[in-house]
Structure 1
Amino acid sequence: MRDKILEKSTEMFLNLGFKSVTMDDIAAALGVSKKTIYNHFSNKTDLVQEVTSTVFEFICTGIDFIHEQQQNPIKELYEVKRFIMHYLKDEKSSPQYQLQKYYPEIFSSLKHKQFEFMQECIQENLIRGIKQGLFRKEIDTDFTARLYFNGMLGIKNPELFPLQQFSMNDLMNYYLEYHLRGIATVKGIQELEKQLKEK
């Protein structure tokens, strides 16, 4: 039952937002009493914590799997984007921003874990891209990876990028192209154009 609660809660939180979904909503969707949920999770904050940890671990595992394929670094970034968008269902409710606003301690802990994971992944991607002649050799990989992470957080702020005006998929596509055009060589731009045609 615990796994079913986590699965349904994840689906509802990602689709409707962490604030909007109540424990009553989750119980009704599962066809169980609220007491059943409280037998497994002490309160909504505990449930949100478990959901965010589960989502984070799942996404990290997926990104690691894509990384193991050792595709060229530009294609790899697009594969990661497609995987995340498919799993997060285009983030229509801006779940990360709601998490930041209503569960700041959980958000802060998650952001720290995301940064450590992404910093390593993106730096490795950049170093590989430089070796393959896709990215300019003079870029500072640590700085660029930090900038990339910060930008990814920034585009998820609905006050800056209202979801009525921009879909999350479009935002990620725009940002990825912006990032890559800033660091790519002529060879890298050719690969980027190929990816843009394929999408």
Structure 2
Amino acid sequence: MNTIVTSKEEILKTSRELMQRQGWSAVNIRSVAAACGVSVGSIYNYFSSKTELIGTIVESIWCEIFHRPEDEAVFQDTQTCITWMYERMEYGCKRYPGFFVMHSLGFMQEDKPDGRRRMQRTQQHILDGLCAVLKRDAKIRPDAFDEQFTAEKFAEVLFTLMLSALQRQEYDPSVVLEIVRRTLY
């Protein structure tokens, strides 16, 4: 028997579990309410619409997948960071099958600006972190970046390659690591 969920965090946790067990299409206000053991109205106390609920769930899954590791060394070295990101992508795809492809396709529709905004905000946070690693990595040649070829632009290229790999469900970072080695070291 389900325990009664009384907080937004518990609703999100139960929603992630529902998505994990039954897939993306199983998540809606009614199914979340049933999984939480509460009324549909209780879900609306925390989320004004299905779109807000789904957007918040997606954001929480991105945050779970790419949570900041306890080992800060991950963010000191570009190659270590990229390897960690690929490991987290693999974890996310195993834990939430179809999540990355389904939510990105769903949020690119024009009627879901909040979900698209949340996805872009979360991805921007990851991109900013990657850029910060590039700027502090002591192994990168001092002349690797200039006004035209900036750390920000290179981070965007790397992140695009990672997102492409994510959609193909390829978790071997060796190609991206080789690009980093040949370009920056």
Taking a change above 3 Å as real, the CA distance of residues 92 and 40 of structure 1, as seen in their structure-2 partners, is: closer
Whole-Å separation in 1 of the counterparts to 2:75 and 2:52 = 37
The CA RMSD measured in Å over matched residues stands at 3.3
Letter matched to residue 49 of structure 2: N
Partner of residue 75 from structure 1, selected from 57, 80, 90 = 80
Q: Percent identity?
A: 17
Whole-Å separation in 2 of the counterparts to 1:120 and 1:103 = 21
Which residue of the partner structure matches residue 42 of structure 1? Answer: 48
Taking a change above 3 Å as real, the CA distance of residues 77 and 21 of structure 1, as seen in their structure-2 partners, is: same
Which residue of the partner structure matches residue 139 of structure 2? Answer: 132
Which residue of the partner structure matches residue 130 of structure 2? Answer: 122
Partner of residue 106 from structure 2, selected from 102, 108, 128 = 102
Deviation at 1:5, TM superposition (A): 1.2
Taking a change above 3 Å as real, the CA distance of residues 35 and 114 of structure 1, as seen in their structure-2 partners, is: closer
CA contact (8 A) 1:9 1:51 kept: yes
1:80-99 matches, within 5 Å, as 80-83=85-88, 85-86=90-91, 88=92, 90=94, 92-99=96-103
Q: Are residue 184 (structure 1) and residue 181 (structure 2) matched? A: yes
Deviation at 1:178, TM superposition (A): 1.0
Deviation at 1:172, TM superposition (A): 2.5
Gaps in structure 2 of 5+ consecutive residues: 1-5
Partner of residue 112 from structure 1, selected from 110, 117, 120 = 120
CA contact (8 A) 1:115 1:149 kept: no
Taking a change above 3 Å as real, the CA distance of residues 89 and 11 of structure 1, as seen in their structure-2 partners, is: farther
Which residue of the partner structure matches residue 30 of structure 2? Answer: 24
Q: Are residue 13 (structure 1) and residue 12 (structure 2) matched? A: no
Report the TM-score when normalising by structure 2: 0.68
Corresponding pairs, count: 169
Report the TM-score when normalising by structure 1: 0.65
Which residue of the partner structure matches residue 68 of structure 2? Answer: 62
Taking a change above 3 Å as real, the CA distance of residues 110 and 149 of structure 1, as seen in their structure-2 partners, is: farther
Which residue of the partner structure matches residue 192 of structure 1? Answer: none
CA contact (8 A) 1:122 1:145 kept: yes
Deviation per residue, 1:34-79 (Å, 9 max, x gap): 233233323211211222333445566515x544665543223323
Whole-Å separation in 2 of the counterparts to 1:33 and 1:69 = 43
Taking a change above 3 Å as real, the CA distance of residues 56 and 17 of structure 1, as seen in their structure-2 partners, is: same
Gaps in structure 1 of 5+ consecutive residues: 162-167, 189-199
Taking a change above 3 Å as real, the CA distance of residues 20 and 126 of structure 1, as seen in their structure-2 partners, is: same
Whole-Å separation in 1 of the counterparts to 2:158 and 2:80 = 16
